[in-house]
């Protein structure tokens, strides 16, 4: 990007609020902006998908929507926009935390919406999200959903997830999760339980699917 994100704002203070994390017990403005940005993100992505895939049913659009708005995608965009270098916090570990970067990314979108409206947000988002959307010819499926469908079809049961171990530090935890389908098992690790469960489901499918 030729201009920094902050330079795009008529009111740079809104951008500063979006990247300022909480300090101690004091609430941070970015949390309210993230709440707004989550809705703005959803609207832009939903409209983009609706217009691009005119023949797809709601279920396929929903799968694409989840892939384009999930934490990992937003964290990747945050790195692209160098938000990990700009986040204001006394805890340096948080600057590389996917959950935090995802929230900050949404907060920036919410701040830009307040600053200049929806068209400005689209102008910022579309050059990034369109390639992400077009990279998947088929509607992507969440690993847990795919594992559930496979388990029901082949074993007439649901996957069972169990947290085996929590490692790492308080700010950078690592979870190890086990998934069982009948007598089949697999494991996954991640910085939160949801991420670990997805990896476990993905590993189980790769080991036994087909």
pLDDT in tens, 48-62: 999 999 998 988 888
pLDDT at 24 over 60: no
Average model confidence (pLDDT) for the chain? 88
DSSP string, 34-89: HHHHHHHHHHHHHHHHHHH-TT--HHHHHHHHHHHHSHHHHHHHHHHTTHHHH-B-
Catalytic choice (34, 103, 106, 197) = 106
- CATH class name, domain 143-208: alpha beta
**Other C-beta atoms lying within 10 Å of the C-beta of residue 166:** 11
**Is the model's pTM score more than 0.85?**
no
Active site residue 115: no
Looking at residue 151, its pLDDT comes to 87
Looking at residue 209, its pLDDT comes to 63
pLDDT at 35 over 70: yes
pLDDT band at 137 (very low <50, low <70, confident <90, very high): low
CATH 3.30.160.20 residue ranges for the chain: 143-208
pLDDT band at 2 (very low <50, low <70, confident <90, very high): very low
pLDDT band at 6 (very low <50, low <70, confident <90, very high): very high
pLDDT in tens, 64-105: 888 899 888 999 999 999 999 999 887 777 788 888 899 999
156 three-state secondary structure: coil
Residue length of the chain: 210
Catalytic choice (34, 38, 115, 199) = 38
Query: What is the CATH architecture assignment of 5-134?
Result: Orthogonal Bundle (1.10)
Pairing label, strands 184-190, 173-181: antiparallel
184 three-state secondary structure: strand
Active site residue 195: no
pLDDT in tens, 147-166: 888 888 888 899 999 999 99
Q: How far apart are CA 14 and CA 56, in angstroms?
A: 38
CATH 1.10.1520.10 residue ranges for the chain: 5-134
């Amino acid at each position: 990007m030729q201009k920094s994100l902050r330079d795009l704002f008529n009111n740079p203070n809104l951008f500063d609020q979006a990247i300022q994390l909480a300090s101690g017990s004091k609430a941070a403005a970015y949390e309210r902006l993230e709440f707004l940005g989550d809705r703005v993100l959803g609207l832009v992505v939903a409209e983009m998908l609706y217009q691009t895939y005119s023949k797809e049913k709601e279920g396929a659009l929903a799968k694409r929507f989840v892939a384009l708005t999930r934490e990992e995608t937003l964290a990747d965009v945050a790195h692209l926009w160098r938000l990990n270098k700009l986040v204001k916090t006394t805890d340096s570990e948080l600057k590389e935390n996917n959950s935090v970067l995802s929230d900050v990314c949404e907060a920036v979108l919410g701040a830009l919406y307040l600053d200049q409206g929806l068209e400005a947000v689209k102008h910022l988002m579309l050059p990034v999200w369109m390639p992400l959307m077009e990279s998947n010819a088929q509607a992507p499926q969440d690993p847990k959903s795919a594992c559930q469908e496979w388990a029901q079809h082949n074993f007439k049961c649901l996957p069972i997830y169990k947290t085996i171990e929590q490692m790492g530090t308080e700010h950078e935890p690592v979870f190890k999760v086990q998934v069982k389908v009948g007598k089949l098992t697999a494991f996954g690790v991640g910085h939160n339980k949801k991420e670990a469960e997805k990896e476990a489901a993905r590993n189980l499918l790769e080991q036994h699917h087909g």
